[in-house]
């Protein structure tokens, strides 16, 4: 009986999170608007989103990856940071698995 209660609680939590935050699919459709807004409000920034066709002939696209490089960060790195880049990555788990990669620079004044 306890196992059934845990499953009911999990379903209720998942449903309430979906009602508050929206589903993953709804969140991904907002990425197009987010990319356009980043380009509009940060002139010179690079924002590239890649998608792939779902493959069932529906014409839908599946999110694959996103690359964001803000102009202010690019300029600050090239003018004020040491020419060293550290890369870090981690594997994401859950319904949307993948890899998150980040690049980090070192301030010239430590």
15-69 confidence digits (pLDDT tens) = 887 788 777 667 777 888 999 999 999 999 999 999 888 877 777 787 888 899 8
Could you tell me if 49 and 39 are in contact, meaning their C-beta atoms sit under 8 angstroms apart?
no
Which pLDDT score, from 0 to 100, does residue 42 have? 92
How buried is residue 52: exposed, middle or buried, by Cβ count under 10 Å (0-12/13-18/19+)? exposed
3 confidence band (pLDDT: 50, 70, 90): low
Give the Cα separation of 72 and 93 in Å (integer): 32
Angle at 59 between CA 97 and CA 56, to 5 degrees: 65
Percent over 70 (pLDDT), the chain: 87
Residues 6+ apart with CB under 8 A from 5: none
Which pLDDT score, from 0 to 100, does residue 48 have? 93
Which pLDDT score, from 0 to 100, does residue 8 have? 87
User: How do beta strands 81-92 and 98-107 pair?
Assistant: antiparallel
Which pLDDT score, from 0 to 100, does residue 40 have? 94
Q: Does pLDDT of 86 surpass 50?
A: yes
């Amino acid at each position: 009986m306890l196992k059934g209660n845990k499953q009911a609680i999990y379903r209720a939590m998942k449903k309430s999170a979906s009602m508050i935050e929206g589903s993953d699919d709804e969140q991904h459709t907002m990425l197009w608007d987010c990319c356009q807004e980043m380009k509009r409000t940060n002139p010179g920034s690079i924002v590239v989103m890649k998608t792939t066709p779902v493959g069932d002939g529906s014409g839908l696209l599946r999110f694959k990856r996103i690359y964001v490089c803000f102009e202010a960060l690019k300029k600050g790195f090239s003018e004020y940071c040491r020419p060293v880049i550290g890369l870090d990555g981690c594997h994401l788990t859950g319904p949307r698995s993948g890899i998150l990669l980040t690049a980090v620079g070192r301030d010239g004044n430590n």
